[in-house]
Structure 1
Amino acid sequence: MANISQVRGALLEEAVLYLLEKFGYETIESVPLNTDESLRGGHSGLEVRGRGTWHQIDALAGFLSSPAFMYPLRLMVEAKCYQEKRPVGIEVVRNAVGVLKDISENYFSIIGDDASVKIPRFNYHSAIFSTSGYTSGTVNYALAHQVFLIQYENVPVIQPLINSIMNFDESCITGFGKTAISEVRRLYRDAIRERVFEVDVHQYITPRGLELINTNLVDFLKRIRGSYFGMLQGRWPLHLLTSSPLPPAAFKSDTVRCHVVGRLNGEWRFTPENYNIGDEGWFELEFNIPDGVANLIKEKWGDREAVANIKQEHFSYIYISGIIGGVRRNVRLELDQDWINEYIERSRRRR
């Protein structure tokens, strides 16, 4: 039987891909029609060509609008849905770093006047998503190798989905290995996107597993109607979630002053300074940060390099991107500097 932890990770990866699509990524499901030679269909799913070998990448997304002066962006997604208090270990990031290095060194050649020139195919990045945090060594290693870490622990809007994934247990699946996981992944991907699939093709999933996918796993995911990516202080990644899309009324300007609200149980959110609950411009963006990252943020908080060419240097900030009022926006949230100290202190008390 397939490892149930791997199955849960696959389900979370599919949920993450759907949330990534909300702010500009497109899930790469198969080899494009223009015959991208860097991709192929493998025995157990999509494979990406590296310098040394092919790598199976089950969750891969491409950004639809790459910045100028940069090759098209592709993001390798890996998700871990472990039991509470079981943080992701360094071996997960080590594997991601090795794969990322190999596929990033896969070039194609064009013929110039005198010789062939090797050009990168894509600008690849890697992000790991966890429901239970990371060890301190994992955080340090990931930061050193530019692997982005996203943490969903104590983020209320996604917790019902996580609970449902954890309820997907050994009674939901039969069979062995990668083929069983691939079937679960495909069924959930199709259910999220409301694609029809034939009932008689299910070899490895039980009726209970199929029902769980088609009900709770889809319903709780689609209740997350706002999904935004942000870089805190211009360098630390956050995935900001909300049950309602951000209101256009709050973003008449591209800069919005925000409070950072924390609760004793570890929940954190951004709220607008100039609006109250019930106002048309009110919003709450829920988030969490790995503890090791929070401590590093505190150390770099006054780093003037990070706020170069910004007139209001005494403000901390986060740039977020996503769809606001049907329009793709990049906006800046300015934050109270004291919140990071409170975040760290409350995190210590909870542990």
Structure 2
Amino acid sequence: MATAQALRGYLLEEALAWLLRNSGYSLLTQGDKDGSELVKRRNTLHVVGRGTEHQVDALGEFPFTPAFSLPIRLFLEAKFYDKKRTCGLDIVRNAHGVISDVNQNFTYGGSSRPRRRYHYSYALFSTSGFSKNAQQFALAHQISLIDLSGDSFTWLRDHIYTLASAICAASPGQDVPNRIVNWVRTMVRLSLETPREVPGDSFALIDEGLSAPADRAIQGALNDFVQGINEHGEAELLIGFPAAPFILPLHTTNRKGFLDYASRNPTHPVRIRRTADHGDAEWIITPRNGDAASYRLTFILPQHIEDWIVGADEDGQQRRSAAVKTDFLSNITIYRMKNSALHVYQLMYESTELRRR
């Protein structure tokens, strides 16, 4: 059974898989093709660790391998709490435990057939931010935290909240049966075309226990959700990799504008500005040369990093801006897949370009 809060998180994971569709993120749904690493238990995917198996609701695989590394798989977990509740230390601790266990799952088999190995990473998304302790722990243990509380994701949060509310209202009890949750997730993946493989289990019916009106209500809400997501077809979440111990979720509502500019200028200088003085402010990236309206990327820095950048007096901000250029934001690398080919873009800026509106 899933609570309304858990259901919102599951739906957010599916929507994120769609937003990340061109970042090389290929959603894995089956375990039988990789029995040494992935197994299916009761229609749920598990990753085999050194000590135990770990359930995973959204697991992505990147088609390229970084230099001096292993092929990368990414645990994607999303939390859609109420606005006043941040994602806490307990969630990040669990992520660290899972990653530590699965990355140690290797034994030398002697004369047995060689097996592939993967490096597993973990990304936590939250619509209400993260606690200070959670951020500090994640920074120390290389767990990626992505804050989706900014204005750029209001449309996404609204669509998810509406669908989750409709499903809960149509469900027979206070919580939503797992069968309905699995059916909805499968249909979202098929409708948004995010899975690499289609799950083999039957999903023609939601649940025999549902009344016909409830069945129609859920399917109608699901159709509205998919339509709402597709109306934002130009929206995309690009993953920026700065020279820093965190990643940047770069959101754009004009994918074509960014790609047209970046295709002509794979490496180019940019401007960065902060939209407001309050703690929920977003940062905006635009090209420094030419037409600044060519594209616009928005992101939120980890709160403690942002506080460190802008929390000093005027002289202190200048010194810290120079440190940001040297240690954190000297360049941002973006990987993107197009027609099965990998494209790499670099956004570069100097500390003098870091300013507040």
TM-score range, shorter chain: 0.7 to 0.9
**TM-score with structure 1 length normalisation?**
0.81
Mapping for residues 242-261 of structure 1, pairs under 5 Å? 242-245=252-255, 246-261=258-273
Aligned-pair identity (%): 27
1:161 and 1:217 in contact (8 A); partners too: no
**TM-score with structure 2 length normalisation?**
0.80
Letter in 1 for 2:224: T
The answer for the alignment partner of 2:169 in structure 1 is: 171
The answer for the alignment partner of 2:348 in structure 1 is: 334
Q: Deviations over 1:275-319 (max 9, x none)?
A: 3366xxx00112122312324667696279748xxxxxxx83222
Report the CA distance between 1:78 and its aligned residue: 0.3
Between the aligned partners of 1:125 and 1:81, the Cα distance in structure 2 is 21
Matched, 1:65 2:69: no
**Number of matched residues?**
328
Aligned residue among 260, 267, 273 for 2:288: 273
The answer for the alignment partner of 2:296 in structure 1 is: 284
Considering fraction of residues, name the structure with more strand.
1
The answer for the alignment partner of 2:83 in structure 1 is: 84
Change (3 A) 1:300 1:52: farther
The answer for the alignment partner of 1:181 in structure 2 is: 181
Letter in 2 for 1:248: D
Which region of structure 1 is more displaced relative to structure 2, 186-195 or 228-237? 186-195
Report the CA distance between 1:80 and its aligned residue: 0.7
Q: Deviations over 1:153-211 (max 9, x none)?
A: 1142x321211112221215445554443233222212212989988511277433322
1:139 and 1:293 in contact (8 A); partners too: no
1:259 and 1:273 in contact (8 A); partners too: yes
The answer for the alignment partner of 2:315 in structure 1 is: none
The answer for the alignment partner of 2:17 in structure 1 is: 17
The answer for the alignment partner of 1:161 in structure 2 is: 156
1:226 and 1:241 in contact (8 A); partners too: yes
The answer for the alignment partner of 1:27 in structure 2 is: 27
Letter in 2 for 1:335: Y
Between the aligned partners of 1:339 and 1:290, the Cα distance in structure 2 is 20
The answer for the alignment partner of 2:143 in structure 1 is: 147
Change (3 A) 1:201 1:324: closer
Aligned residue among 330, 336, 339 for 1:316: 330
Report the CA distance between 1:234 and its aligned residue: 4.1
Report the CA distance between 1:220 and its aligned residue: 2.4
Matched, 1:230 2:240: yes
Matched, 1:209 2:224: no
Between the aligned partners of 2:321 and 2:215, the Cα distance in structure 1 is 50
Report the CA distance between 1:324 and its aligned residue: 7.2
The answer for the alignment partner of 1:6 in structure 2 is: 6
Between the aligned partners of 1:326 and 1:297, the Cα distance in structure 2 is 38
Aligned residue among 217, 227, 239 for 2:249: 239
The answer for the alignment partner of 2:316 in structure 1 is: none
Between the aligned partners of 1:300 and 1:249, the Cα distance in structure 2 is 27
Structure 1 unaligned runs (5+)? 308-314, 344-351
Matched, 1:294 2:306: yes
Letter in 1 for 2:192: I
Between the aligned partners of 1:306 and 1:120, the Cα distance in structure 2 is 35
Letter in 2 for 1:332: Q
Structure 2 unaligned runs (5+)? 311-319
Letter in 2 for 1:142: A
SS at match of 1:14: helix
1:78 and 1:128 in contact (8 A); partners too: yes
The answer for the alignment partner of 2:229 in structure 1 is: 220
Between the aligned partners of 1:260 and 1:304, the Cα distance in structure 2 is 12
2:159 and 2:228 in contact (8 A); partners too: no
1:90 and 1:135 in contact (8 A); partners too: yes
Q: Deviations over 1:213-263 (max 9, x none)?
A: 222345325534433111233432011121222233344333211122333
Between the aligned partners of 1:172 and 1:260, the Cα distance in structure 2 is 46
SS at match of 1:5: helix
Change (3 A) 1:225 1:118: same
Between the aligned partners of 2:144 and 2:171, the Cα distance in structure 1 is 31
Report the CA distance between 1:124 and its aligned residue: 0.5
SS at match of 1:187: helix
Which region of structure 1 is more displaced relative to structure 2, 212-221 or 294-303? 294-303
Report the CA distance between 1:24 and its aligned residue: 0.7
Between the aligned partners of 1:71 and 1:57, the Cα distance in structure 2 is 20
Cα RMSD of the aligned pairs, angstroms, is 3.3
1:155 and 1:287 in contact (8 A); partners too: no
Change (3 A) 1:105 1:296: farther
Between the aligned partners of 2:24 and 2:37, the Cα distance in structure 1 is 22
